[in-house]
Amino acid sequence: MSNMTVVICNYNYGEYLRCAIDSALTQTVGAAQVLVVDDGSTDDSHDIIQSYGERITAIFQENGGQVAAYNRALEQIDSPYVIFLDADDLLYADTVSRVIAAFASGDYVKVQFKLDVVTHEGDKTGVTVPQTTAVADCGKLLRAGWLYPSPPGSGNAYRVAALKRIFPIPVTSDNRHGADFYAIYGIALLGHVCMLDLPLGGYRVHRSAASIANGASGANGSTAQLAFSNSEGPLALARKAALRWSTLRVVAQERLGETLPVAFFDFSTEKAHFADRLYQASLARRWRWFVLESGSYFHTVLANPFWSMRKKLAVSCLTGLCLIPLTSVSDRAVRYIANPLTRAGRVGKLQPDAR
| DSSP tally for the chain: helices H, then strands E | 15, 9
Q: What is the mean pLDDT of residues 126-153?
A: 90
Query: What is the structure's pLDDT at 134?
Result: 76
Query: What is the structure's pLDDT at 210?
Result: 36
Query: What is the structure's pLDDT at 206?
Result: 77
Q: Write the CA distances from 43 to 15, 21, 32, 122, integer angstroms.
A: 9, 17, 27, 21
Q: CB-based contacts of 203: which residues, under 8 Å, 6+ apart?
A: 89, 115, 116, 117, 118, 129, 151, 152, 154, 155
What phi-psi label fits residue 29: left (phi over 0), alpha (psi between -120 and 50 degrees) or beta?
A: alpha
Query: What is the structure's pLDDT at 339?
Result: 84
Is domain 4-204 given the CATH code 3.90.550.10 in the classification?
yes
Query: What is the structure's pLDDT at 32?
Result: 78
For residues 204 and 229, give the distance between their C-alpha atoms in angstroms, rounded to a whole number. 9
pLDDT higher than 90, residue 187 = yes
Going by pLDDT thresholds of 50, 70 and 90, the confidence category of residue 135 is confident
Element holding 60 (H helix, E strand): strand 57-61
- What pLDDT digit, counting tens, does each position of 70-120 carry? 999 999 999 999 999 999 999 999 999 999 999 999 999 999 999 999 988
pLDDT higher than 50, residue 286 = yes
For residues 38 and 161, give the distance between their C-alpha atoms in angstroms, rounded to a whole number. 23
Going by pLDDT thresholds of 50, 70 and 90, the confidence category of residue 209 is very low
Picking from 36, 25, 38, 152, the residue whose alpha carbon sits closest to that of residue 96 is: 25
Query: What is the structure's pLDDT at 217?
Result: 39
Residue 323 CB-density burial (10 A; 0-12 exposed, 13-18 middle, 19+ buried): middle
Picking from 306, 308, 307, 290, the residue whose alpha carbon sits closest to that of residue 298 is: 290
Query: What is the structure's pLDDT at 2?
Result: 77
Query: What is the structure's pLDDT at 214?
Result: 38
For every residue of 217-283, DSSP letters joined together read -BTTB--TT---SSSS-HHHHHHHHHHHHHHHHHHIIIII-----SS-B-HHHHHHHHHHHHTT--H
Q: What is the mean pLDDT of residues 34-50?
A: 97
Q: What is the mean pLDDT of residues 126-138?
A: 85
Going by pLDDT thresholds of 50, 70 and 90, the confidence category of residue 348 is very low
Residue 263 CB-density burial (10 A; 0-12 exposed, 13-18 middle, 19+ buried): exposed
Number of other residues whose CB lies within 10 A of the CB of residue 26:
12
For residues 229 and 209, give the distance between their C-alpha atoms in angstroms, rounded to a whole number. 8
For residues 253 and 62, give the distance between their C-alpha atoms in angstroms, rounded to a whole number. 30
Q: What percent of the chain has pLDDT over 90?
A: 77
Contact 271, 302 (CB under 8 A): no
pLDDT higher than 90, residue 281 = yes
Query: What is the structure's pLDDT at 351?
Result: 41
Question: What ranges do the domains of the chain cover?
Answer: 4-204, 211-343
Q: What angle do CA 301, 305, 272 make, to 5 degrees?
A: 35
Going by pLDDT thresholds of 50, 70 and 90, the confidence category of residue 295 is very high
How far, rounded to the nearest angstrom, does the alpha carbon of residue 314 sit from its chain's CA centroid? Answer: 24
Query: What is the structure's pLDDT at 132?
Result: 86
Q: What value does the mean pLDDT of the chain take?
A: 89
- What pLDDT digit, counting tens, does each position of 219-241 carry? 444 444 565 556 556 677 788 99
Going by pLDDT thresholds of 50, 70 and 90, the confidence category of residue 188 is very high
